[in-house]
Structure 1
């Protein structure tokens, strides 16, 4: 057995222990530094918050129990993670719906009409937080988030007001006749309460009305009857229009005939007034062919206007006064002459 291998030099032991102690000390220092670094990094990360677009942030300082009334705008914000907390609120328009969703559940608002019929209403609400009242909203609601505000005010208050106002109307008015009026009444009731709680009501609407089967059938029958009545009225109006068109056309034709007759009568009257004796003689002369009439047998001399060197002769003057015309009668043979 080699005894020299088990023998350690006494001079080397203190040096080894010293080296190990230094290494351990350095490791400890590095560990502490690393821990401090991680802590500082975590603290730095926790000190920076991001305000989402469309939101503003309210800073609450727990050390002094006060809030910063100036909201933080969207972007990065630095806070003390030990004493300060940020609550974000949306300042854009929010939409909250209470609808009948079939298999997913019925969240519509159940109301009773004036005659006691149950009707379900699908409603849609649009609102937003007043930007200059965000700090007041935080204080009034105890720092609660927007989900709490929606549940307690937008949802619960609306579901309490809608049935109370709808009970003033019968089911037909709720369905169609006064649906807009009902929406307006509800909107006015909600606006006052929303404003008092730092919200601005943008709109309230009844999207759909769900009726029981019996009322739905009655409504369908009524709508069908109204459509048929409107169709009949339309046809009657068309017949009236056609009759009016025919009447106007007949009146137009009659007026045209009357105007033509009046024009013709006026023309005849004008012509009659213009037919003087000289004009008549002139027209006769224009139509004369220059030949005298030939007469056989006796009889009166015709009244024919002729032209002589001295001018025109009137129609009532005998033609013989200007031109001598002799008519020689022809003897008619007798029986005695024929026997000779």
Structure 2
């Protein structure tokens, strides 16, 4: 009876041992391979020591329980950092910087060994803060607005030089915002309003000058036309105009034995000149004197 129990126990022990051995083989086999995901590189650790060998994408063999593979993301990553700095004219500037960067494949082991996985907090953010402060201090607040692209290019170049030595590649750099204090914004708005008012006043002044010049030129043209017209008027023309408008009737004069009535055209012209005619500059030739004589006999005969 005892021998039967020992045989069964031995058989059971062999089965359990076989299962354990099979499980160990399976576990060992599974730990002998590692898969590196797309867009990543594998850093090999041997007993915690970083190997210089960097694994590319795909399936790779490793020593089970001795080697470990840490995956480093080599895809384009985004970082956004809020910065505070001072301009050349000591204005407080708040800015937001956004950039795209990536870890170079060949530098994955170096970054993991020297920095670890937190390279954004350790390298990227402090480098951005330093670059923004260094470049902002070279420009006034107004220049930060008007020369934004130039400033962005300088910051990008400076940041690229700082992080490239760590194996980080800067792809895109953007200044999202440049913000100033409320007092400075109010001063800028007041300055713009004053410039607009000055421009409007200058435009109004130019318009007034043009209108005044037009009025002067129009008056000069009218005066010149009037002068030319006046030069064309002669005393003879005035006399003819008067004669053309005369109805041919003479005033009736009653007198003694003899009387006469004289109509002197020159006196008419003279009176017209005194009343507003413009013939003073032209010599007046004495027009003929018309004499009308009536005798007493003619008057008596007409009465009979």
Aligned equivalents of 2:88, 2:139: Cα separation in 1: 5
Indicate conservation of the 8 Å contact 1:43/1:81, yes or no. yes
Aligned-pair distance for 1:109?
A: 0.7
Distance 1:37 1:113, change over 3 A: same
Pair 1:164-2:134 in alignment: yes
User: 1:67: which partner in 2?
Assistant: 51
Indicate conservation of the 8 Å contact 2:31/2:65, yes or no. no
Indicate conservation of the 8 Å contact 1:60/1:68, yes or no. no
User: 1:279: which partner in 2?
Assistant: none
Aligned equivalents of 1:78, 1:165: Cα separation in 2: 49
Q: Which TM-score applies when normalising by structure 1?
A: 0.52
Pair 1:26-2:11 in alignment: yes
1:62-211 correspondence runs (5 A): 62=47, 67-69=51-53, 71-98=54-81, 108-139=82-113, 141=114, 144-145=116-117, 148-174=118-144, 176-211=145-180
Q: Which TM-score applies when normalising by structure 2?
A: 0.58
Find the structure with the greater CA-based Rg: 1
Distance 1:43 1:219, change over 3 A: farther
Aligned equivalents of 1:229, 1:122: Cα separation in 2: 35
Structure with more contact order per residue of length (Cα contacts < 8 Å, sep ≥ 6): 2
Aligned-pair distance for 1:35?
A: 2.4
Map Cα deviations across residues 277-329 of structure 1 (whole Å, 9 max, x no partner). Answer: xxxxxxxxxxxxxxxxxxxxxxxxxxxxxxxxxxxxxxxxxxxxxxxxxxxxx
Q: Secondary structure at the match of 1:119?
A: strand
Aligned-pair distance for 1:172?
A: 2.4
Distance 1:114 1:44, change over 3 A: same
Q: Secondary structure at the match of 2:31?
A: helix
Aligned-pair distance for 1:54?
A: 0.7
Aligned-pair distance for 1:68?
A: 4.4
User: 1:42: which partner in 2?
Assistant: 27
Kindly indicate which of the two structures has a greater share of residues assigned to strand.
2
Aligned equivalents of 1:206, 1:197: Cα separation in 2: 23
Distance 1:131 1:22, change over 3 A: same
Distance 1:83 1:180, change over 3 A: same
Aligned-pair distance for 1:180?
A: 1.7
Aligned equivalents of 1:123, 1:199: Cα separation in 2: 17
Indicate conservation of the 8 Å contact 2:80/2:97, yes or no. yes
Unpaired runs of at least 5, structure 1? 1-14, 99-107, 240-340
Q: Secondary structure at the match of 2:173?
A: strand
Aligned equivalents of 1:37, 1:223: Cα separation in 2: 83
User: 1:57: which partner in 2?
Assistant: 42
Superposition RMSD in Å = 3.1
Q: Kindly tell me the number of residue pairs found equivalent between the two proteins.
A: 204
Indicate conservation of the 8 Å contact 2:74/2:105, yes or no. yes
Aligned-pair distance for 1:228?
A: 8.0
User: 2:212: which partner in 1?
Assistant: none
Indicate conservation of the 8 Å contact 2:43/2:70, yes or no. yes
Indicate conservation of the 8 Å contact 1:110/1:118, yes or no. yes
Map Cα deviations across residues 126-175 of structure 1 (whole Å, 9 max, x no partner). Answer: 22223344444445x16x22xx222221112222232122112222222x
